[in-house]
Chain A
Amino acid sequence: DGGITQSPKYLFRKEGQNVTLSCEQNLNHDAMYWYRQDPGQGLRLIYYSQIVNDFQKGDIAEGYSVSREKKESFPLTVTSAQKNPTAFYLCASGETSGSKTDTQYFGPGTRLTV
C-alpha cells in the first residue's frame, strides 16, 4: 500500500447523507484514480485525474463527485444520489507517459456501508 493513504478505513453512511473519502499520495504521481469493488467482482472505475484541476468520469460516475486541487490529494464524495453506495472503495495513483498507463499503486481501501 506504500505511499497512498485512504481514510477512514470504515465508514457508515445514513441515507440522504453525502460522505467524503480521503485519498493522499506522496509518490509524486500525476494521475490518480477511484475504483469501486463489489463482493466477488473486479474493480470499476469511478473517476480519474491525470493532472491537477482536471478530472474525467469513468464507467460508473453517477452519484459521485471528485476534486483535484492538489497533486497529492483526490477526495471522492459519495452523494445521496448514489442509490447503492455500499462497497469497497479503492484509490490508486500512477505515472502516465503520453497515452500509456503503467503500474498503478493502490491504497488500503475504505469500506462504506449504508
Chain B
Amino acid sequence: SQQGEEDPQALSIQEGENATMNCSYKTSINNLQWYRQNSGRGLVHLILIRSNEREKHSGRLRVTLDTSKKSSSLLITASRAADTASYFCATVPYGNKLVFGAGTILRVKS
C-alpha cells in the first residue's frame, strides 16, 4: 500500500537552481522521512521530520511538514550534478513500518 505520493514524477533543472519536491499522504503519521536513491543502488536516508515539527534543515536540504494538509516538501538549494537521483518520501504511520511513495526523479544538468 502506497501512502505517500510525490510530485512531480520527474524534474529537470540546471546546476545551481533550486529543486522542490512535494509529498502528500493519507493517514496520520509519527514521522516522515526523505531518502535518495542513485541509479541501481540502495537508498540513503536524508532527513527525518517528526509530526510535531514544521521545518527542518540539513546542509542544502530544507524539509517542511504540514500535518493539516498531510503534505511535505523537500527543497534542495544550489543543486549540483551529483544531486541527480530519485527521491522518495516515506511516512511512518503509528507503527513500525515505512510506507514509500513512487518517488521523484531529479536530473541536474551541468
A31→B44 contact, CB < 8 A: no
Interface string of B65-91 (1 = CB under 8 A from A): 000000000000000000000001000
Q: How many A-B residue pairs have CB under 8 A?
A: 74
Given the interface pairs A1-B41, A43-B88, A109-B41, the reply to whether A102 lies near B101 with Cβ below 8 Å is no
Chain A: interface size category: 20 to 34
Q: How far is the CA of A31 from the CA of B97 in the complex (A)?
A: 10
Does residue A55 face the partner (Cβ distance < 8 Å to B)?
A: no
The 10 lowest CB-CB distance pairs between A and B, nearest first, are A106-B42, A42-B100, A106-B43, A43-B100, A42-B102, A103-B45, A108-B42, A101-B96, A101-B92, A1-B42
B-contacting residues of A (Cβ < 8 Å)?
1, 4, 6, 31, 33, 35, 40-45, 48, 50, 58-59, 88, 90, 92, 96, 99-109, 111
